[in-house]
A = this chain, B = another copy of it.
Amino acid sequence: MQGRRYILTISCPDRVGIVAAVSTFIASQKGWITEASHHADPQSGWFFMRHEVLAESLPFDIEEFRRRFRVIADEFGMVWQIADSLAKKKVAILVSKQDHCLSDLLHRWRTGELDFDLRCVVSNHEDLRSFVEWHQVPFHCVAIEQTDRDAGFKQVDAILEKHGAKTVVLARYMQILPGWMCDKRPGGIINIHHSFLPSFAGAKPYHQAYERGVKLIGASCHYVTPELDAGPIIEQDVIRVDHGDTIEDLIRLGRDVEKTVLSRGLRLHIQDRVLIHENKTVVFQ
């Protein structure tokens, strides 16, 4: 219904004329802009922009679009990309035993609500093989031995490479990725952490929340960086709890927040709505 769109995202130092340069260029080609968002950050002096343009309204293909746009991009010192809405993101999901996030993502994927190319699911346990395979999605089980974790992660990495996964989703994957895996995929690994970061980073956040007696618990979807639970936050949400809720209740209530927040974060990511700048995100909803 919406038609193929090219999605142009840029970030660069702020100055007069960026919007005009970009929109004049698009308009001079009779490009039909279906969505446009800007943000100027007064503190960093940085400018961010995202445009969706109807592909069929332009007189050239995406390669030519990129070629021509490069002139403007160079002039303003832009970090930029032009994505094609038909080129679905290639995604791998990593999971352990708990499947509430996986099950939720698979539903959104199989009904087309989340429009990505699911290449494979990788787990350190066999438990979810049958459910994943019912979806006709490749399932790989790679145990992570505590005595040689790197050996396991090399195997995982090889699987991701083989399937061409560009986006890796940690859907409650209860293993900490080694630094080299994070460094290799900047802005390419999305995690759901089961707390309202920066509170309760690290292990057992619901136990920490219970001990502190907080009245809300939350979840945070963020990009993974080598520093644990400290990467740029994409999306967060919370739910109310009270003294009557046991740790098991917190875990149960938290699952609903986790899966909602993860799916929202992933949606924003695959639609190229998240721009990373230093350790923060600009999210064009």
Residues of A participating in the B interface, judged by any CB pair closer than 8 Å: 1, 16-17, 19-21, 23-24, 26-28, 30-36, 38-43, 57, 99-100, 103-104, 107, 111, 113, 131, 134, 196-200, 212-216, 218, 232-238, 242-244, 246-248, 252, 255-256, 260, 279-283, 285
Assess whether B196 is in contact with A216, with CB atoms less than 8 Å apart.
yes
Assess whether A38 is in contact with B40, with CB atoms less than 8 Å apart.
no
A40–B199 Cα distance when bound, in Å, is 27
Assess whether A236 is in contact with B213, with CB atoms less than 8 Å apart.
no
CB-defined contacts of A99 to chain B, threshold 8 Å: 107, 111
Assess whether A214 is in contact with B233, with CB atoms less than 8 Å apart.
yes
Given the known interface contacts A107-B99, A246-B42, the answer about A233 and B218 at a Cβ–Cβ threshold of 8 Å is no
Which of these, B43, B214, B246, contacts A197 with CB under 8 Å? B214
A155 to chain B, nearest CB (A): 28
A31–B192 Cα distance when bound, in Å, is 42
A153 to chain B, nearest CB (A): 28
Assess whether B39 is in contact with A19, with CB atoms less than 8 Å apart.
no
A181–B20 Cα distance when bound, in Å, is 43
Given the known interface contacts A213-B279, A243-B281, the answer about A36 and B19 at a Cβ–Cβ threshold of 8 Å is yes
10 further A-B pairs in the complex, CB-CB below 8 A; given A19-B23, A35-B40, A216-B236: A16-B32, A17-B30, A24-B27, A33-B38, A196-B216, A196-B238, A197-B199, A198-B200, A212-B280, A215-B233
Assess whether A280 is in contact with B198, with CB atoms less than 8 Å apart.
no
A137 to chain B, nearest CB (A): 14
Assess whether B198 is in contact with A216, with CB atoms less than 8 Å apart.
no
A130–B210 Cα distance when bound, in Å, is 41
CB-defined contacts of A30 to chain B, threshold 8 Å: 16-17
Assess whether A215 is in contact with B199, with CB atoms less than 8 Å apart.
no
A215 to chain B, nearest CB (A): 4
A239 to chain B, nearest CB (A): 10
Which of these, B35, B36, B243, B246, contacts A280 with CB under 8 Å? B243
A33–B17 Cα distance when bound, in Å, is 9
Assess whether A27 is in contact with B20, with CB atoms less than 8 Å apart.
yes
Assess whether B20 is in contact with A16, with CB atoms less than 8 Å apart.
no
Point out which of A20, A103, A198 has the most chain B C-beta atoms below 10 A from its C-beta.
Answer: A20
A4 to chain B, nearest CB (A): 16
CB-defined contacts of A107 to chain B, threshold 8 Å: 99-100, 103-104
CB-defined contacts of A24 to chain B, threshold 8 Å: 20, 23-24, 27
Assess whether A232 is in contact with B215, with CB atoms less than 8 Å apart.
no
Assess whether A36 is in contact with B33, with CB atoms less than 8 Å apart.
no
Assess whether A244 is in contact with B39, with CB atoms less than 8 Å apart.
yes
Point out which of A26, A36, A215, A252 has the most chain B C-beta atoms below 10 A from its C-beta.
Answer: A215
